[in-house]
Amino acid sequence: MGAIKVGTASWTDRTLLDSGWYPQAADDPEKRLAYYARQFPLVEVDATYYSPPAERTARLWAERTPAGFTFNVKAFSLLTGHPTRPGALYKDLRPETDKKNLYPDDLAPQAYEEVWTRFLAALDPLVAAGKLGALLFQFPPWFTIRRDNKQYLLEVAKRCAPLRPVYEFRHASWFDGDNADETLAFLREHRLAYVCVDMPQGHRSSVPPVLAATADLAVVRFHGHSDKWTSRDIHEKFGYRYSDRELRDWAPKLRELADSTGETHVLMNNCYRDYAQRNGQQLQALLVLQPGIVITAR
């Protein structure tokens, strides 16, 4: 069976720093990342969704973590079709516009290509250090199951090669009725890695918790079950702490998923205060107890 790595979708959130999870001695970014890397073998970088990374930053991440540590990096918003603030773009690529948000079609083709090139190139230090796990492409709620969207999944895989993109959907059409089998078959045919999610149901962006491996890497992201999922306050949206019972129910399901693929990444994205870190540590302990499981831990 494949190994399981558990981590969280943040290590720098302000509410986390205020929660007391970090010891007082971890009083700067370098020490906090080092401490985090002693607790978990994996972390997801979400800041890269809001603004593309700098190569220097990626080099520091690589230098400040031990061998074997893994970074999953969230794709820049423009590359997944989300609205993107003009100020988030590289200064020399910003179009002259009064628009509050930009989309790919708002950029000249050459500028759009350059965004892709610079985004991927900035990750070279992580690649060189063997610490880049996956590139998370989380698509918006209007990214439905259509032929051109499927083609974009293939385009992303081609652009990222040999790096490994993984795909998270936020529209139920991908799993409505027979579409679930169609979606998983398409991903398996092209060896595209699917991101399983646990999230609130009954919303436009809701996707059911379908656990499946479609490539040599499986990813599961836990968003929580906040009753304020539609809130614009990100801490209200993700402010949910999983109970011990919930995590105990998930542990054997994750073991079964890991049986069907080479490696499984489990990310706690309930990022408010230390909820994700505490739940991640609980889940690591529960997974160790699963028979036959290979858990990569610090």
pLDDT digits (tens, 9 = 90+) for 19-48: 999 999 999 999 999 999 999 999 999 999
* CA–CA–CA angle 37, 198, 279 (5° rounding): 40
Q: For 1-10, 12-21, 87-96, 246-255, which range has the lowest pLDDT when averaged over its residues?
A: 1-10
CA distance 131 to 84: 27
pLDDT band at 297 (very low <50, low <70, confident <90, very high): low
Say what percent of the chain tops pLDDT 70. 96
pLDDT tens column, 169-207: 999 999 999 999 999 999 999 999 999 999 999 888 889
Contact 122, 58 (CB under 8 A): yes
Q: Map residue 171 onto helix, strand or coil.
A: coil
- pTM attached to this predicted model: 0.94
204 or 296, higher pLDDT = 204
Task: Give the span between the Cα atoms of 66 and 34, in whole angstroms.
Answer: 8
**What residue ranges do the domains of the chain occupy?**
11-235
The pLDDT tens digits of the residues spanning 110-148 come to 999 999 999 999 999 999 999 999 999 999 999 999 999
Rounded Cα distance between 80 and 97, Å, is: 21
Just give the CATH number of 11-235. 3.20.20.410
Closest to 137 measured CA to CA, from 185, 99, 169, 175? 169
Query: Given a cut of 80, is residue 290 above it in pLDDT?
Result: no
Q: Determine which of 21-25, 94-98, 246-250 has the lowest per-residue pLDDT on average.
A: 94-98
